[in-house]
A and B are shown apart, each in its own frame.
Chain A
């Protein structure tokens, strides 16, 4: 990259893809390509079987009790939009509250704003305690009022590296009969997830952040909840029978998957999940926590830097600002040395406003990143400080 070896530190945006995933894609297109759920012929049977096998694999990946609890979507964003429509439209009424946190990605804010506009519901936000980036849990009990219908929050913040106390949040909500949605976009490929143990009602993830291709993700929902939800998109596959004026719906999960799905990428998601479990998600979590802590400490030692997110128990990403140097300039300079960072608001503008910044630079790691790469990042940042006379 610009004459330097690439150091890819933008994994929170999207991960790199292993060869087995690329192979799964080409294998499907070369040998097994057909539409699913509609053919009688052998090729279609093969594609359908591989597609549905991924559903089973995904259920095992997050320990859902039934593969019907897995709805394939384009990713976390589409999953949340599905939920806000299919669950929200029929459940949420004027005066109801959707409780979010101040560190949510736009994708876990805007669909709820649209729902609020349709229904007259309101949004409320659990506060973040400033640069340290922790949720103010002392406010949790008071925030879980009787008109809260859903607590929707991110497991790991893509802007701060905070790991939220998922079990505690879900448990407190459940005790009051409030449903929970977990945005696992940043966590699913980084640590073990067990939806039964966590006790969440819904959960979403994006394949592309966990070694799979773009355009595939999923929504998990407890079966009894999904059964009661109305479809959100109409079309082929989601119906059981269609008349000119009336239709009846297919069963869950097909009720929520209108039209030809993203077959090839779904099958490649299977390969990605196998790959991640071969590497070991516990090992990935351990590596994340070590490299995240190392980067945090090294940035602190570099000096003249404002760091975001907690010091301890952080995910494998660090958000920072060099004093008097804008995040964009940092990213342009680092890029010229082959270091790929992200600069901007990370789709968390409300959080940025709260912290009083317009953007930060972010280095986000995956299992293939090394502490040597962090050292190189620090060296490059030192060079940038020198260039800017800081």
Chain B
């Protein structure tokens, strides 16, 4: 019935959404932020431990749709061990992919590319970006909750 959605809801995405990685709180976190999508009520909290400009560890908690959960889960996998500069660049690449579908050559997206189908579902772009916006806000030390609106 839903062949055309197989692309958006690939098995990897379903797996992450059902069993999200790095889920929970983090003792000793030094950056954290909240994010929410006011339209649909998705909300999350992210906790990062940074050291020498590098994200050593991170966890997240929240509730929302499969795309949001999978994207947040995969993001936490890919941010671990990266520097702030690397993360900013990765965010730009991810943002471009999700909003326009463009994937730059020599990018650093790796496994995150399975989310590229989101750009064809404009109503779901916010879901895929919520976790990222919260992470960027935590790294910038911005303590206002981020909102996708």
Interface residues of A (CB under 8 A from B): 2, 325-329, 332-333, 336-337, 343-345, 349, 352, 358-359, 380, 383-384, 386-389
Indicate if B4 sits at the interface (CB-CB under 8 A).
yes
**A383→B41 contact, CB < 8 A:** no
6 smallest CB-CB distances across A and B, nearest first, come from A358-B41, A328-B65, A326-B65, A383-B1, A359-B41, A344-B40
Docked-complex contact B2 and A349, CB < 8 angstroms: no
Docked pose: A133 CA to B104 CA in angstroms = 51
Q: List 17 A-B contacts (CB under 8 A).
A: A325-B66, A326-B65, A327-B40, A328-B40, A328-B65, A328-B68, A328-B124, A329-B9, A329-B65, A333-B5, A336-B4, A344-B40, A352-B41, A358-B41, A386-B1, A387-B1, A389-B14
Decide: B40 and A359 in contact? CB cutoff 8 A. Answer: yes
From the candidates A345, A380, A386, A387, name the one contacting B40 in the complex (CB within 8 A).
A345
Cβ A358 vs Cβ B2 within 8 A: no
Give the CA-CA distance A387 to B8 in the complex, in Å. 12
Which one of A329, A358, A380 lies within 8 Å of B63 (CB-CB)? A358
**Inter-subunit contact A332/B40 (CB<8 Å):** no
Contact A387 B2 (CB under 8 A): yes
Query: B67 and A358: CB pair below 8 A?
Result: no
A332 close to B64 (CB less than 8 A):
no
Question: Looking at the complex, which one of A325, A332, A349 makes contact with B41 (CB distance below 8 Å)?
Answer: A349
Counting CB contacts under 8 A, is B43 at the interface?
yes
Whether A326 and B64, one on each chain, are in contact in the complex, defined by CB atoms closer than 8 angstroms, is yes
Contact mask for chain B residues 26-63; partner A; CB cutoff 8 A; 1 contact, 0 none = 00000000000001111100000000000000000001
Given contacts A336-B4, A383-B1, contact A329 B42 (CB under 8 A): no
B4 touches A329 (CB 8 A): no
| Complex partner residue of B43 from A329, A332, A336, A358, CB under 8 angstroms | A358
The answer to whether A329 and B66 have CB atoms under 8 Å apart is yes
Distance of A325 Cα from B9 Cα, bound (Å): 13
If A329-B67, A332-B124, A358-B64 are given as contacts, then 9 extra A-B residue pairs at C-beta distance below 8 Å, sorted by A number, are: A328-B40, A328-B64, A328-B67, A328-B124, A333-B2, A336-B2, A336-B4, A358-B40, A388-B66
Interface size on B, residues (CB 8 A): 22
Selected from A337, A383, A387, the residue in CB contact (under 8 A) with B9 is A387
Measured between beta carbons, the chain A residues less than 8 angstroms from B40 are 327-328, 343-345, 358-359
Question: CA separation between A343 and B2, bound complex, in Å?
Answer: 19
CB distance from A327 to the nearest CB of B (A): 7
Do B42 and A358 touch across chains, with their CB atoms under 8 A apart? Answer: yes
Q: Mark B110-124, 1 if CB is under 8 A from A, else 0.
A: 000000000001011
Are B123 and A344 in contact (CB-based, < 8 A)?
no
B38 to nearest A CB, angstroms? 8
Determine the distance from Cα of A222 to Cα of B87 in the docked complex, in whole angstroms: 61
Cβ A328 vs Cβ B5 within 8 A: no
Which of B14, B65, B67, B121 makes the CB contact (< 8 A) with A327? B65
Beta-carbon nearest neighbor of B41 in chain A: A358
Please give, as numbers and ranges, the residues of chain B lying within 8 Å of A328 by CB-CB distance: 40, 42, 64-65, 67-68, 124, 127
Return A215 CB to nearest CB of chain B, in Å. Answer: 21
Residues of chain B lying within 8 A (CB to CB) of residue A333: 2, 5
A358 and B42 alpha carbons, distance in the complex (Å): 7
Which single residue of chain A is at the shortest CB-CB distance from B6?
A: A387
Question: CB within 8 Å of A: which of B100-149?
Answer: 121, 123-124, 127
Query: B43 contacts which chain A residues (CB < 8 A)?
Result: 358
CA distance A2 to B8 in the complex (A): 15
A326, A352, A389 pick with most chain B CB within 10 angstroms: A326
